[in-house]
Chains A and B, each alone.
Chain A
Amino acid sequence: MSDTPLLEIRNLSIHFPSSRGTVHVVSDVSWSVRKGETLAILGESGSGKSVSTSAILDLIDAPPAVISQGEILYQGRDLLKTPKDERRKINGKNISMIFQDPLAALNPVYPIGWQIAETLRVHGVDRQTAHARVIDLLTRVGIDDPERRAKQYPHQFSGGQRQRIMIASAIALEPDLLIADEPTSALDVTVQAQVLALLKQLQAESGMGLVLITHDLSVVEKVADRVVVMQNGRIVETGDAAAIMAAPQHPYTRKLLDAMPGRHGFTPQLAVTSADRPLLEVEHVSRVYGVAPGKLKPGNTGGVRAVDDASFVLRSGETLGIVGESGSGKSTLARMLLGLEAPTSGTIRFDGHDLNGMSAAQTYTVRRRMQFVFQDPTASLNPRMTVGQIVSEPFAIHPDVLPRSEWRGRAIELLERVGLTADHIDRHPHQFSGGQRQRIAIARALALQPEVIVCDEAVSALDVSIQAQVIDLLKTLRRDFGLSYIFIAHDLALVRDFATSVIVMYRGQIVEQGLTTQIYTNPQHDYTKRLLAASGDHLSSAA
């Protein structure tokens, strides 16, 4: 490591003029990164971490954005004073960048080999050399059969492979500095670990500097040398990664660390006993796409088995965590529990009644006792309804529950119950933050006093500190109303701190189930072990 920084940002400020006054997105931010060093920029959404790094590559739209002060020094030269044409020559060659969602970041209509080669060609590499380099790069990032794969399109790859392709393109010209903007946030936990390992390995080989933008403390813990913590466009704390993780100075950093799921010692949630009443019984349920319901014959291998022979019981008062990666079938299972999809075979019983053999009237009653909260509160709340209308809509669907004159009063009670206030009732969803919107969705789910709430990745889209608040709310509701939850998540730490028992799903099958304590302290199945290992040591060791 040399002493002169590779890239240095000095007193950078960026603001957007808006109708409601100027919005200061980045205020007086300074940091630097050296050769071979990994700097993590940590912050929650809206902290300005992405905007400040986008400025390095001239990727922010100015206007409307205004860079009001500061310098971005690359090898001693101020990029902000460099003509656009010359900055473009630096982009991709000296400094390159990868982004959060590799599917969106790759152009869908061109083969991936062509896209990597384009990076080489715009910086002066001829066609033949470029092709040979593409094959070499794909091999290096671990894409098998590169000659054939290079001709394929982004949609033909998995999420992890796409991010590898992005990385191949970013390191094609052996840049001095790689900026990675949430490179693993859209990926499954085992894939996350692989991508981070690949980045570290490439860094070790080339000695490039790495700037890692993330909201995920476990990523910081695993790979960063130094950390910059940002909040509301300002740097609140900066220093050695290990030191900050061990002894954070600023209250905000402490709050972030505190909110990190799995951070605290393992306090097992009170488990239920087999004496408790079974609420939901799932027996040999399968969902095979491409085969009509009831037509599934034993040994039939046709179709896609999204859920394969799943059986479990949810007892009254229990919180059942369902853990798995994308494509494991956990969401399909949830949709079947909610009756949004019919199982191809098997039965689901709610309080002794078969969900599928039910009349419309029976279904209507069961729906009242089983509610749901989805992942994206922005999408699951109707943007044209006021919060009051949203929360009291269940009363309109079940008119015998409450006379119309009492709707508003009950809606206010529900809002206060989830930590909102009475004056929120006439506002629309867009006037709330992500965490508040999810509270509204929870209030709606509570309206009919259900016995079970199915939460499908209900906190995954939220910032970590907000996540912790929502989980606390769910715990309080569990205690006060004796609610049972089905809690679907890909975040193991989160499930550990909330669920009483856990189901692990892999490729449509339940590979392991049991009490949370058992699963986390003594995992049996290989896949569970891999999952636990990938999500960090503190999970199993803290137990």
Chain B
Amino acid sequence: MGGFIFKRSLQSVFSLIALIVLVFFLARLTGSPADLYLPQDASPEVRFQFNERLGFNDPLYVQFGRFLVGLLHFDMGESLQFSRPAVDVVLNAFPTTLMLAAITMPIVIILSVITGSLAAFRPGGVFDRLASFISLIGASTPNFWVAIVGVLVFAVTFRILPTSGTGTPLHWVLPVAVLTLRPTGVLVQVVRTSMITALSSAYVKTAKARGVGSRAIIFVHALRNGLLPVITVASDQAAGIVNGAVIVETVFGFPGIGKLMIDSVMLRDFAVIQAAVLVTALAVFIINILVDITYALVDPRIRYS
């Protein structure tokens, strides 16, 4: 297993390098920060000095070289908008997003595993139809719309939840609820399908013949076999949230990494964009390793060498 993690890490290093190069050059295609940070009638001398101070007058390859050298010291440059090191800015926002994912995903997984499993027990039954109907709505309703309606109903009309920002646990209720909706809708369908397959297997029939009860058949025999596709989809969704729940963070004014990235792109804050992409990429890489380890724990036939 140790050898496997080492090999995977090595492979990821190459992907990370490609990503860094791509982000560095793509960000610079958006235009010059000088246009945004200086008054429209700023003189060419002022512009030149602004660019000179930030190093934007040097050829691109010099800028890139400087960026790489900085990277080795974990120095990703200074944020234009905050006038602080970009790494600090990103590491300040990231825990909020991580927290959001850490609260949302367990809720998503528990809800969809229970709902999907029960739906699969009697395909075509009343519970199955109801679950399929509701999960389809959940999977297909746009996030921003639910977020705005949620604010309108619970914050404006009933005044039981705050509209935006952070601070109290109550501030987390609406963002988490909105974030939960879509992944749950999708995952219920995945769980249902893979559980129907597992429940129609010969080992389930054998378990019935041995006198094993329905609950153990669903949650002990079928579930562990049906989990692999569920883990795949759930990890994808978790990576999506970690990458920045952009819409939810923006609507609820949540200071997470998604909001930070959007703001930084708008403000051409290259240093922050680069740092944010690198940190989220690292997080996604760690999630993938964890998923591979989980596969091996769930299914003894999977062994990495």
Contact = CB atoms under 8 A, between A and B. Distances in A.
Interface stretch (B91-99, B242-250, B297-305): B297-305
B46 interface: no
A270 to B, nearest CB: 45
A104 interface: yes
Contact of A123 (B201, B211, B301): B211
Give chain A's interface secondary structure class.
mixed
B53 interface: no
B299 to A, nearest CB: 6
A109 B297 CA distance: 10
A58 B301 CA distance: 31
A362 interface: no
Q: Which of B206, B207, B208, B299 has the most CB of A within 10 A?
A: B206
Given A153-B301, A155-B301, A107 B209 contact: no
Interface stretch (A90-98, A422-430, A448-456): A90-98
Interface string A77-121: 000000000001111110011010100111111100000001100
Contact of B209 (A89, A97, A108, A153): A97
Given A105-B203, A105-B206, A107-B225, A122 B301 contact: no
A99 B301 contact: no
A269 B85 CA distance: 89
B225 A96 contact: no
Contact of B202 (A91, A101, A153, A155): A101
Given A101-B202, A153-B301, A107 B211 contact: no
Contacts of A119: 210-212
Nearest to A107: B203
Contacts of A96: 209-210
A57 B209 contact: yes
A1 interface: no
Contacts, number: 74
Most buried by A among B205, B209, B221, B225: B209
Centre residue among A58, A96, A108 by max chain B CB count within 10 A: A108
Contacts of B209: 57, 59, 91-92, 96-97
A153 B299 CA distance: 10
B212 A122 contact: yes
Interface string A141-169: 00000000000010100000000001001
Contacts of B65: none
Contact of B208 (A58, A118, A155, A170): A58
Contact of A89 (B202, B203, B211, B299): B211
Given A59-B209, A91-B209, A106 B216 contact: no
B208 A91 contact: yes
Contacts of B205: 59, 99, 105
A15 B211 CA distance: 25
Given A104-B201, A104-B202, A109 B208 contact: no
Contacts of B206: 97, 99, 105-106, 166
A122 B203 contact: no
B59 interface: no
B66 interface: no
A105 B202 contact: yes
Contacts of B31: none
Contacts of B300: 108-109, 153, 155
Given A109-B224, A155-B301, A122 B210 contact: yes
Given A99-B202, A101-B202, A155-B301, A107 B208 contact: no
Contacts of B208: 57-59, 88, 91
B106 to A, nearest CB: 22
A170 B209 CA distance: 9
A166 B210 CA distance: 10
Interface in B283-305: 298-301
Most buried by B among A106, A122, A170: A122
B104 to A, nearest CB: 28
Q: Which of B216, B224, B300 has its CB near the most chain A CB atoms (within 10 A)?
A: B300
A99 B202 CA distance: 8
A58 B202 CA distance: 14
Contacts of B2: none
Most buried by A among B211, B224, B225: B211
A170 B210 CA distance: 7
Interface string B211-236: 11100100001001100000000000
Given A99-B205, A153-B300, A109 B225 contact: yes
Given A109-B300, A153-B300, A104 B211 contact: no
Contact of B203 (A58, A91, A106): A106
B210 A104 contact: no
Interface string A117-131: 011001100000000
A166 B208 CA distance: 14
Nearest to B210: A92
Contact of B210 (A91, A101, A108): A91
Given A59-B205, A107-B225, A118 B212 contact: yes
Contacts of A106: 203, 206
Interface in B241-268: none
Contacts of B203: 104-108
Contacts of A90: 211
Nearest to B208: A59
A155 B302 CA distance: 11
A119 B206 CA distance: 10
Given A96-B210, A105-B206, 5 more contacts: A92-B211, A106-B206, A118-B210, A122-B213, A155-B301
13 contacts: A88-B212, A92-B211, A96-B210, A99-B206, A105-B202, A105-B203, A105-B205, A107-B225, A108-B301, A109-B225, A109-B300, A109-B301, A169-B210
Interface of A: 57-59, 88-93, 96-97, 99, 101, 104-110, 118-119, 122-123, 153, 155, 166, 169-170
Interface of B: 201-203, 205-213, 216, 221, 224-225, 298-301
The 7 nearest A-B residue pairs measured at CB: A92-B211, A104-B202, A92-B210, A91-B211, A107-B203, A97-B209, A105-B206
